[in-house]
């Protein structure tokens, strides 16, 4: 049966969930405290970049099943089910900052007007769902809290919403379980696996999954660094490893380190969570440190090749933390550009869609509308993001544009032999 759903927080997760749940036939209101975001969405303009999102937004706004509002109180009172998908960034000590989440929980508490199911989609440390449940239950109104962590990948978020590998639902009442079955009926019909568990298990599944994937990336990055030292080929190694069914070929691509709004902060929160309870989290700690070092490796490589970085012009292609997104949160390009600026470099930057977001962090570097413009008079080129348009760079044209002949290809996008034949000094990752 169609439900009246309110989603608090219409960022990457909340917006995708809002259009997706409306598409399943539910009546959805996305609420956000950011009026500009709400006005933009009501005009049918997504405020984030995600393939296919615009079409789904238009379709569901037109159907009348989807609307956006800044009126948190009215939207809560109107709903049977409330999803919380606000941000849970890092505190200074690495633990999760739950202020947005508890604000949303208090808003719900202050507007309870009957039984509601509160679904926490935000990534939250173990014990948070139960704390929210206790807070909401304090004045006796019947409320069920459900933990339903989100696993979407930015860049493939729409596809992931409609075809998830699995859905995790931490729920402890039959009434709420039946509501969740109604909400996800469309996915149930295509036989999406559902893991039913308690609140704590659901919370930890999310952190365990992210930490495992981040460790896999870090492992292959260190193997790539070793390949560089011994003359082995990381692609052959990753391929051969991936043929082992126990390992799988996914997440075995070397690069400049993982970034984004999830892995770095979730690892820090997981380490803090364990240590708070006296559990040694040395593996997670090492992954965090190794990844930070990986982000800066390219600067060391460049310094070795150029002797000095002072007054050198570096073209940086790719600013988003990965292709197909405009998200630059904790992107390797942020650490790399910051390090290069500190070393005295001038930066010419290009990204197909993430430049506006990057400008908020680095207003004073040169942004170029075209990748070849960024290469003009550059001493070196660093490729940071695996955008398709960089895979087929015309190397002769690159050569004509640049002053120097150094390419540091942090994603192994270019043909190494061709680059060498064109006269470049080429450094990839583990090749
Ligand atoms: P985001 O920062 O893009 O969006 C959060 C939104 O919540 C913002 O628009 C903000 O204005 C709004 N907000 C904050 N407090 C509010 C309140 N009290 N009332 C109404 N709106 C409020 O965050 P995101 O990237 O969508 O992530 C949300 C959560 O989902 C985080 O816990 C994150 O770890 C998790 N997550 C994110 C991803 C991802 O790929 N981005 C994937 C899986 C899980």
Q: Quick check: CB of 122 below 6 Å from ligand 1?
A: yes
φ/ψ (deg, to 5) at 51: -55, 130
φ/ψ (deg, to 5) at 412: 50, 50
Average pLDDT over residues 280-291: 98
> Does residue 137 or residue 200 have the better pLDDT?
200
Q: Quick check: CB of 105 below 6 Å from ligand 1?
A: no
Index of the ligand 1 atom closest to the CA of residue 9:
7
d(CA 265, CA 45): 29
Q: Quick check: CB of 11 below 6 Å from ligand 1?
A: yes
**Does residue 108 surpass a pLDDT of 90?**
yes
Average pLDDT over residues 372-391: 98
* CATH code assigned to 4-197: 3.40.50.720
Q: Quick check: CB of 298 below 6 Å from ligand 1?
A: no
Q: Quick check: CB of 262 below 6 Å from ligand 1?
A: yes
- Residue 257: its pLDDT value, please? 98
**Domain layout of the chain by residue ranges:** 4-197, 231-427
Is-catalytic flag, 384? no
CATH fit for domain 231-427, picks 3.40.50.300, 3.40.50.720, 3.30.470.20, 3.40.50.10310 = 3.40.50.720
Average pLDDT over residues 223-250: 97
Helix, coil or strand: residue 424: coil
- Residue 139: its pLDDT value, please? 77
- Find the catalytic residue in 262, 345, 384, 401: 262
Give the predicted TM-score (pTM) of the model: 0.95
- Residue 241: its pLDDT value, please? 98
Q: Quick check: CB of 169 below 6 Å from ligand 1?
A: no
Strands (E) across 55-110 are located at 66-69, 81-84
Long-range contacts of 163-168 (CB under 8 A, 24+ apart): 163/190, 163/192, 164/192, 165/193, 166/192, 166/193, 166/194, 166/195, 167/192, 167/193, 167/194, 167/195, 168/194, 168/195, 168/197, 168/202, 168/205, 168/206
Index of the ligand 1 atom closest to the CA of residue 266:
34
Average pLDDT over residues 76-95: 97
Query: % helix / strand / coil in the chain, to the nearest 5?
Result: 45, 15, 40
Buried (b) or exposed (e) across 138-159, using 16+ Cβ within 10 A? eeeeebbbbbbbbbbebbebbe
- Residue 2: its pLDDT value, please? 95
DSSP 173-216: -HHHHHHHHHHTHHHHHTT--EEEE-HHHHHHHHHHHHHHHHHH
Identify the residue whose C-alpha is closest to ligand 1 atom 29: 122
User: What is the best residue among 6, 13, 322 to mutate for testing ligand 1's pocket, by most ligand atoms within 8 Å of CB?
Assistant: 13
- Residue 319: its pLDDT value, please? 98
Average pLDDT over residues 413-426: 97
Index of the ligand 1 atom closest to the CA of residue 31:
20
pLDDT tens digit sequence for 119-153? 999 999 999 999 999 999 887 878 999 999 999 99
Q: Quick check: CB of 358 below 6 Å from ligand 1?
A: no
User: What is the best residue among 51, 79, 86 to mutate for testing ligand 1's pocket, by most ligand atoms within 8 Å of CB?
Assistant: 86
CA of 223 to the centre of ligand 1 (A): 34
Say if residues 298 and 338 touch (Cβ distance below 8 Å): no
112 falls in which pLDDT band (50, 70, 90)? very high
Give the DSSP letter of residue 140. -
Index of the ligand 1 atom closest to the CA of residue 154:
40
Average pLDDT over residues 223-236: 98
pLDDT, the chain, mean: 97
**Does residue 17 surpass a pLDDT of 80?**
yes
d(CA 187, CA 51): 20
Q: Quick check: CB of 10 below 6 Å from ligand 1?
A: yes
- Sequence length of the chain is 431
> Do 4-197 and 231-427 share a fold?
yes
pLDDT tens digit sequence for 332-352? 999 999 999 999 999 999 999
User: What is the best residue among 35, 203, 261 to mutate for testing ligand 1's pocket, by most ligand atoms within 8 Å of CB?
Assistant: 261
Average pLDDT over residues 150-163: 96
Share of the chain above pLDDT 70, in %: 100
- Residue 138: its pLDDT value, please? 80
- Residue 140: its pLDDT value, please? 80
């Amino acid at each position: 049966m169609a439900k009246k759903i309110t989603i608090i927080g219409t960022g990457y997760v909340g917006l995708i969930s809002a259009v997706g749940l409306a598409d399943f036939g539910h009546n959805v209101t996305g609420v956000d405290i950011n009026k500009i975001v709400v006005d933009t969405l009501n005009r049918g303009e997504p405020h984030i970049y995600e393939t296919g999102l615009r079409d789904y937004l238009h379709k569901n706004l037109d159907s009348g099943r989807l609307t956006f509002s800044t009126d948190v109180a009215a939207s809560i009172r109107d709903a049977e089910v409330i999803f919380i998908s606000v941000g849970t960034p890092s505190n200074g000590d690495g633990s999760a900052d739950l202020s947005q989440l508890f604000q949303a929980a208090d808003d719900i508490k202050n507007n309870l007007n009957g039984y509601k199911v509160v679904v926490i989609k935000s990534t939250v440390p173990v014990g948070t769902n139960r704390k929210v449940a206790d807070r909401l239950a304090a004045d006796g109104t019947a409320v069920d809290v459900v933990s339903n962590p989100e696993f979407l990948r930015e860049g493939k978020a729409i596809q992931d919403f409609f075809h998830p590998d699995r859905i995790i639902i931490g729920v402890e009442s039959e009434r709420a379980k039946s509501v969740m079955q109604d909400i996800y009926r469309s996915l149930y019909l295509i036989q999406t696996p559902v893991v039913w568990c308690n609140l704590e298990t659901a919370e930890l599944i999310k952190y365990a999954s992210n930490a495992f994937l981040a460790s896999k990336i870090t492992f292959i990055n260190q193997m790539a660094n070793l390949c560089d030292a011994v003359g082995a080929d990381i692609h052959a190694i990753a391929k051969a490893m991936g043929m082992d069914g126990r390992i799988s070929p996914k997440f075995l691509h070397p690069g400049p380190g993982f970034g984004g709004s999830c892995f770095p902060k979730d690892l820090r929160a997981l380490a803090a969570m364990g240590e708070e309870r006296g559990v040694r989290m040395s593996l997670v700690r090492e992954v965090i440190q190794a990844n930070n070092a990986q982000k800066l490796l390219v600067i060391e490589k460049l310094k070795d090749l150029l002797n000095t970085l002072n007054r050198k012009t570096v073209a940086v292609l790719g600013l988003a933390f990965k292709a197909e997104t405009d998200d630059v949160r904790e992107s390797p390009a942020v650490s790399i550009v910051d390090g290069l600026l500190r070393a005295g470099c001038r930066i010419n930057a290009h990204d197909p869609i993430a430049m506006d977001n990057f400008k908020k962090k680095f207003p004073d570097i040169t942004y170029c509308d075209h990748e070849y413009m960024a290469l003009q008079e550059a001493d070196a080129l660093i490729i940071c993001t695996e955008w398709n348009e960089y895979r087929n760079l015309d190397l002769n044209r690159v050569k004509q544009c640049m002053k120097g002949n150094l390419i540091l290809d942090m994603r192994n996008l270019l043909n190494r032999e061709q680059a060498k034949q064109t006269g470049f000094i080429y450094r990839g990752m583990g090749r």
